[in-house]
Amino acid sequence: MFPPAFNYHRAKSLKEAASMLAQAGQEAKLLAGGQSLIPLMKLRFASPKHLVDLNFIPRLSYIKKYKDELHFGALTRHSEIENSATAAAVPILHDCAAGIADVQIRNRGTLGGSLAEADPSGDWAVVLSTLETSLSCVGQKGERRIPLHDFITDAYTTVLAPDEVVREISVKIPPQGSGGAYLAFKRAAPVYPTASVAVQVTLEGDVCQEVAIRMGCVGLTPIRASQAEGVLRGASLGEKAIEIAAEAARSEADPQPDMRGSAEYKRMLVGVLMKRATYAAVRRARGERVDVSHLYA
């Protein structure tokens, strides 16, 4: 199926893109990687009358380290993050980028586009919610910086104004003694996960000083497993504590049954993924090199 007719606009700057959006109003959509938008248009689930292409705006794809932060241009491709030695300093970022779909999609899909789409089945919002992350967004009124926890408000819904465009994503590098891991369960590589879990811990000796746990695909937005975090925070991260935390995470998930599985099946997956991700995160926090890959049916 082909999409309905639309007007194509090629922006040469973020300011021009914001102006185009303001003029077209609700009838416009931004084109970044297009890995979500184009399939929706072909299925006619989305029918924008105006498409504003960001891909010809210079200097929107980069990965830089500045002081204690990593900075990513909005058009940075998943594959660029997957292969970046700079991004690999935070291993959970590599877990996420390397596990997204297949090579073709990773070569086209963008970090900024993924966050702006706010798809409940997406990967990046889950992972970056375990880190101190913010987005710099440009509109006709200027630029503002929005913490990620304030950016996504509901499924496919963000606080972006109609004329705003994501320019950059900033991620604070975790302190020494930290480690994280991201795991998803999928029926096959190209499809969205049935469930996913991201865990980021900071250890002092064998004791967990800080922990962040987010669950994906089991709610309308990434779900914070606050009860599970409470179990692990201040505890020695042994088998018993992790098992109790996994049970807590299962109870905090709010999945809906669909073609990927029943609600109870997804809760079971959350527990398994949470335990595996936590063990990997702990080993990384201790300085071990741990390879992580998604689970497939």
**Predicted pLDDT of residue 168:** 98
Question: Would you give the distance in Å from CA 243 to the centre of its chain?
Answer: 26
What value does the mean pLDDT take over residues 191-195? 93
102 plus 194 within the same structural domain: no
71 plus 167 within the same structural domain: yes
The pLDDT of residue 3 is above 90: no
Domain count, the chain: 3
Q: Which of 295, 296, 290 is nearest to 94 (CA)?
A: 290
What value does the mean pLDDT take over residues 222-250? 96
Q: Which of 109, 144, 172 is the last residue of a domain?
A: 172
**Predicted pLDDT of residue 297:** 81
Q: Which of 85, 184, 179 is nearest to 126 (CA)?
A: 184
Name the pTM for this structure.
Answer: 0.95
Which amino acid is located at 238 in the chain? G
Cα Rg of the chain, angstroms:
19
Beta bridge pairs of residue 10: 53
What value does the mean pLDDT take over residues 106-121? 96
What's the pLDDT band for 191 if we cut at 50, 70, 90? confident
Range of the domain at 90: 63-172
Task: Map residue 149 onto helix, strand or coil.
Answer: helix
What's the mean pLDDT when you consider all of the chain?
95
130 plus 158 within the same structural domain: yes
Q: Which of 170, 130, 129 is nearest to 149 (CA)?
A: 129
158 plus 193 within the same structural domain: no
Q: Which helix (H) or strand (E) holds 29?
A: strand 28-31
Chain segment 133-170, per-residue pLDDT in tens: 999 999 999 999 999 999 999 999 999 999 999 999 99
Q: Which of 30, 38, 33 is nearest to 11 (CA)?
A: 30
Among 13-17, 34-38, 285-289, which stretch is predicted with the lowest mean pLDDT? 34-38
Question: Which of the pair, 46 or 277, is modelled with greater confidence?
Answer: 277
Chain segment 35-91, per-residue pLDDT in tens: 888 888 888 888 999 999 999 999 999 999 999 999 999 999 999 999 999 999 999
Segments in 181-262 forming alpha helices (H): 226-232, 239-252
CATH number at residue 113: 3.30.465.10
What letter does residue 263 receive in the DSSP assignment? H
246 plus 260 within the same structural domain: yes
What letter does residue 6 receive in the DSSP assignment? -
